Amino acid sequence: MNARQRTLETLLFGKPDRIPFIPGSGRESTRARWHKEGLPEYVRPEQITEYAYREAGGKLDFPPAGADFSVDERMIPHFEEKIIEKKADSQIVQDWKGNICEIGSEFSVEYLRNAIDFVSRRWIKCPVENRQDWENMKPRYNADDASRYPADKEVLKGKLASRENFLGFHFSGPYWQLREWCGFEGLSMMFYDNPGLVRDMLNFWRDYIIELLENAFEYCIPDMVHISEDMAYKGYSMLSPPMTRDFLLPVWEAWGQVIKKAGVPVYACDSDGFIGELIPIWIEAGINVCDPVEVAAGNDINGFRRSFGKKMAYRGGVDKRGMAKGGKFIEAEMKRLAPVIKSGGFIPSCDHGVPSDVSWPDFVYYSKLLGEATGWM
């Protein structure tokens, strides 16, 4: 099987020759530690997975990277990234989304544009606080802007039709995007104080993403449409299930109808935190894969499989804390996940970015056990 077939067979509860090997990846601080512990400096970030696999004794060939089709949902133009004030050990900055926040002086504003490393921040002001702010924001989102799609989309149209790599489109979900505009506290209050404005923003984002999808589908039907939501704490979702059903479900359903009609087999959703009370709503919306199933948030993937059966597949689910403890703890983690791996519909991987408390030797050992569990060893 090629990588595309293998991934689809796994996520759709088919019969893959082996499960995709995706241990997870570390950001800047993690890689800095690994380079001190044996990972050669010449190994680029995108090569680390295969390098760890070889270090663990893996012999199988890795599939070559295939062509992609990127769709840019972000605002155009961006806000100016700038430093507003420098302090002794922190700085007040404006990011590309128009947020004013405080971050450590060791980071540049670029860290807020790309997932370079984990950056704590103190939110000061978000770009949408009222109706006028929202009206000013709308013009930044034009789905017909040609720069949102690959310049060589006509060439890719023929090339991707016979691709062997799994290809996905990635977008911000409705909750994620409104939180980007309003901030968590601002949005939480707005659901109560100004629900009409919330619905206006939700409807706008619903229609905007549908336009992006339909424009992109003219050139490429992906294997997956994946949305980011991050709408849960440890133990509970950030928006109650009844309010989630009222405000967000109609958007997810509308996207799901477009995705299904186009023939895209995987509709996936990402959210950190405890997702147990969200999964039934996602299933109702047509979502059939979710990630990263964080263990520290109380997610029990074995329990989810018992409760939801083959209505939901998963990616992630490997406790990063066990990886950091190493040895027998990694072994116990893989043993815990064995029943779900065996039952299908699961690509085991780190349940978020691999943190810097995971050593390089432990990551290699984890890669070995993961390779054995997924048929790569």
Give the chain's domains with CATH numbers: 3-75+128-374 (3.20.20.210), 80-126 (no CATH)
Token pair belonging to 184 = 């968590």
Are residues 323 and 350 in contact, defined by beta-carbon separation less than 8 angstroms? yes
Q: How many residues does the chain have?
A: 377
Amino acid residing at 226: H
pLDDT, mean over the chain:
96
Q: Which residues of the chain have pLDDT under 70?
A: none
Task: Enter the DSSP assignment of 232.
Answer: B
Q: What pLDDT score does 66 carry?
A: 83
Are residues 274 and 299 in contact, defined by beta-carbon separation less than 8 angstroms? yes
Are residues 145 and 205 in contact, defined by beta-carbon separation less than 8 angstroms? no
* pLDDT tens column, 321-339: 999 999 999 999 999 999 9
Q: What pLDDT score does 65 carry?
A: 83
CA dihedral (279, 284, 288, 289) positive or negative? negative
Are residues 345 and 19 in contact, defined by beta-carbon separation less than 8 angstroms? no
The residues near 47 (Cβ < 8 Å, ≥ 6 apart) are none
Are residues 324 and 357 in contact, defined by beta-carbon separation less than 8 angstroms? yes
Q: What pLDDT score does 120 carry?
A: 87
Q: What pLDDT score does 15 carry?
A: 97
Phi-psi region of 263 (alpha: psi -120 to 50; beta: other; left: phi over 0): left
Share of the chain above pLDDT 90, in %: 93
CA distance 269 to 175: 12
Q: What pLDDT score does 64 carry?
A: 85
The SS3 call for residue 326 is coil
In sequence order, the β-bridge partners of residue 102 are 92, 122
| Cβ count within 10 A of residue 245 | 15
Q: What pLDDT score does 216 carry?
A: 98
CA distance 308 to 35: 41
CA 151 to chain centre: 25
CA distance 338 to 199: 43
Q: Beta 82-86 vs 90-94: how paired, if at all?
A: antiparallel
CA distance 365 to 38: 13
